[in-house]
Amino acid sequence: MRIRWTLSASILALTLLLTSCGSESSGNAQQQLSYKDMKSMVIDILKTEDAQKALQQSAEQLSGYTAQSSKLLSVQDQEEVRLAVKDVISSPDYDKVIRKLMTDTRFAGEFAKAVNKDNKDIHKELIKDPAYQQELIKTMRNPEMEKLILEVLKSAQYRKEVMSLMQESMQNPLFRLEVLDLMKAAVQEELQPKPDEKVKKGKQDEQKGQEEDQGSQDEEGME
């Protein structure tokens, strides 16, 4: 906005200068330029290389911007900056620098705080994507990933963290109430006979009744 204002001021000053010169020359030559002719002349002058350089220098002096900083506003230079950043990030040397920075506790903590909210939003959006879900499942089924997860689960540090988390959760009355409800539901489910057990028990009772009837008939025949 500041650059635009300074350029406008420079153009206005140039226009006033040309107008005064035009008025003076017209007075001498007893001629007067029309507004259309004056506008056309100003446009032609502004298209020249010298005029553009003069406007740029004037804008830099008034606003304090350099030619290099002004170029950063162009679309082409923005694309060049983006590609340069991409090359730096993909460089092996950059990976080493990042690893070294992440070992700094203070830097890692501040970095995590800065990207925490954005990461949560990204994960929420990604988890809704079917393609991301498929890739995540494929990754979790990878033998190396399974091995890594098992090693983490077996580690003493992980078990310690789980126990600490469980102890903290058990201090919550709502969590304890939910656990009790789940235990009651599990006990009731175990006490109810299953359909297969009912059929098996019915067959056993029927077979037992037949054996008793057969035994009674044998006793009567012996008498």
Q: Does residue 144 lie within any of the structural domains?
A: no
Residues 102-137 have pLDDT tens digits of 777 777 777 777 777 787 888 888 888 888 888 888
Q: Does residue 91 lie within any of the structural domains?
A: no
Most confident of the following: 37-46, 83-92, 154-163: 154-163
Contact 35/41 with Cβ under 8 angstroms?
Answer: no
User: How many structural domains does the chain have?
Assistant: 1
Q: Does residue 33 lie within any of the structural domains?
A: yes
Q: Does residue 177 lie within any of the structural domains?
A: no
Q: Does residue 146 lie within any of the structural domains?
A: no
State how far the Cα of 14 lies from the Cα of 210, in Å rounded to an integer. Answer: 120
Range of the domain at 22: 2-73
Q: Does residue 48 lie within any of the structural domains?
A: yes
Q: Does residue 78 lie within any of the structural domains?
A: no
How many residues belong to the chain?
A: 223
State how far the Cα of 178 lies from the Cα of 172, in Å rounded to an integer. Answer: 10
Q: What angle do CA 76, 82, 86 make, to 5 degrees?
A: 145
pLDDT confidence bin for 32, thresholds 50/70/90: low
Q: Does residue 90 lie within any of the structural domains?
A: no
